[in-house]
A and B are shown apart, each in its own frame.
Chain A
């Protein structure tokens, strides 16, 4: 099997990291997928073992191993709790790239990643066109949450309740910005991210409003591409590289003190994955390294840099808001206090904690597409925790989590509004 040898060579890069796993199995205690399935192949230890066997050419079924390794939310809970400090996410990303290189990309993914995602302008045009026809064959699912569902498309999207694409994406509402620092004396680069841009432009608008309120100058270059994580998670390193260098060229054109995003996944990707996965000795790697320090989630920026503090004791709280910790913010970056501070800083809001606020909602990007029923059973637990608080609003810091939570709530016609933390805060500004 000379072929298997080629794959083993690709995996040599991560071999040292694999041996750090002492097989204690403690990842079983925290993995949301393992909690549902109880299958060793679904937990980090099992996946790392399969990679070890592939790297030693002792496992022949590379395709089977790839399927196991891809069945992961990439939530990072295992890594955050690993006694040996195994770099699990890095291992999985590199392994997915190696396995995809070896086994090739499926035609559908090829079309999505290389045909669309890789070309931001083409992607924007397609999405704009799609938004005009999207309501064909769909019907309103829950008017309060604004979701729709589709029997016509059920073969593709299942029973999901989804928010339609925005009539006008954020990049059409606000094409680009280059404003000087105001009273804060600071200027930030703003990376809205795909979901904000195409589905929730109101999040982008809220960010702008808040930044203007605090006198922060904004550099938002035109034509931003995806942060690249969907491609990378599917092992599509080429598309990732191309998206990264596209974004790097855009952002290095401006001066900024911080790079902020309203998306937990984008923040974690820019801050950690860009420098980790950018091609060696490339300009992208150099820039990513420079920016990592400056990259922040919007709440973290407001609280840690601008010192936004909770409102005084005299505030009359009328709205109960509960907060869900996105994995990429809490597990990957350790940011959990700041979004809560921001809710407390919002004039009429009271924060009510839910049980297990930091457990994964089950979205996991493409995990949701490939393992919907599993994703849903994890998500329904999150829904139960949200409802148990009695709060009328659930806030979070990741548009993808919002999508998942909205689907779960909508399917049960729960009367809970889903918002980004920055929307909650922006709404209470004078």
Chain B
């Protein structure tokens, strides 16, 4: 599954699972851009069906609830929902 990559300051491996229609996903993405960090993201709702299933299953390994947005930092730190303070303290 192909992800979009945004260049920036290296703060580790940052992956955002998002929906193109979701307000909190938009806020999370905006914040990552503001912080200027390097990250990858995928709009799961825009993927073709088989890739969507793949992305969703991958995301559910980090967030069993399967909710959006899900932000994964270095495959170990998972931030679920738009948590501005947590994101800033991890990546600021």
Whether A and B are associated in the same complex: the answer reads no
Tell me the B residues contacting A by CB distance below 8 Å. none
Tell me the A residues contacting B by CB distance below 8 Å. none
